[in-house]
Chains A and B, each alone.
Chain A
Amino acid sequence: MSIIDIPKEQDLVEYRVDRILEEVNTDTRIVVLARQDDALDTFPIWVGAAEGHAIKLALDTMITPRPMSHDLIKSFAEHLNITLQRVVITDVKSSTYYATVYVANKGIERSIDARPSDAISLALRAPCPIYITQDVLKRRSTTNLDAWLAKLDSKPIGTPEVQET
């Protein structure tokens, strides 16, 4: 956790959160990352409804009356003078993405294992850049996307599901 292994810059590609899609059938959300340099590539990550909501709040810069969990993490960091350096999507194993959050305090840098949803939620609030490693981009999980697209195909697109009366 604390042995720091800073990834080399050429191995990282910067992404930003483009939008959050709702997957009503499974009560999940799809966080769509897009390349920061506007090259045409999107990177979808499936997250839970609560996790998606936390990201949406930050994306829309919504101020909630009470601090949400990631606001509290940010508040901890501010009180202790910890800065978020960057978050990196570092790995994918059996369709699960892994992320690492890099933090620094008085020149001491540490890395913390995290779920991508937490990492992205924090990156938007810090704010700090979001990267995906070249390795993950090569090995990206397409199973979810394929399944999702297959489900879309099974429905005639463009036909309203609720008939107007």
Chain B
Amino acid sequence: MNFSSDLAGFVDRHISEVLHLSTRDPSAKVLNFLLAIELRNGSKFVVITQMQVKGLMFDPSNNAYIVVLRDDEHSEMLPIWVGKSEAGAISMALENVTPPRPMTHDFMKSLLDVYDAKVISVVITDLSEHTFFAKIHLMYEDSEYTVDARPSDALAIALRSNAPIFANDSVITKQSSDELQQWLENLKPEDFGKLDS
């Protein structure tokens, strides 16, 4: 799959739901629609899958936190390593905690709110040299804007905006190395939820 950032924005905006549908029901109609888009852009389309933030774990070996994303069918898992304060920002949104003072991402949300700008979606777009890349799609006055971000910021703002989270399939495939699978399989249930304790 050739990834083009311009195309990604286009795909996310118009057919992200259709793309997701296609993974469940690859009917001829949907495939034809995808093919039409592919032809129109003269490039391969980007397949993205909607993901949910399933939780946070502490990784003692790296002294970091892992955000675990899963697709709705639970067939794919995407772990993303983040720092402590980044994990905190995601954790607060996951647990619906309202802090006494606005945290950085609450401020970010307020800035968008005062001008009626909306987060439409966030996409984990790429993984390069152990670094994940993300894009935030904003809608403001009938125009769409695509903003480069770290996944931790993208997830923190998506959870606060109730915006859907997607991952490019190339990222999911790249990440699912044998080593990682093994590491995840060795996790005990009590390793989950350590952030709270």
Contacts and interface: CB of A to CB of B under 8 A. Distances in A.
Interface of A: 1-2, 48, 50, 54, 65-70, 72-73, 75-77, 79-80, 82, 96, 98, 101, 103, 105, 108, 110, 112-115, 118
A125 B19 CA distance: 38
B145 interface: yes
B140 A80 contact: yes
Contacts, number: 80
Secondary structure dominating the interface of A: mixed
B131 A66 contact: yes
Given A72-B108, A80-B138, A112 B114 contact: yes
A76 B7 CA distance: 21
Contacts of A105: 115
Contacts of A75: 147-149
Given A1-B114, A114-B102, A115-B102, A80 B145 contact: yes
Nearest to A49: B85
B20 interface: no
B107 interface: yes
26 contacts: A1-B113, A54-B104, A66-B133, A67-B148, A67-B149, A67-B150, A67-B153, A69-B89, A69-B108, A69-B153, A69-B156, A72-B153, A76-B108, A76-B138, A76-B147, A79-B138, A79-B145, A79-B147, A80-B117, A101-B107, A103-B114, A108-B115, A110-B114, A115-B102, A118-B102, A118-B104
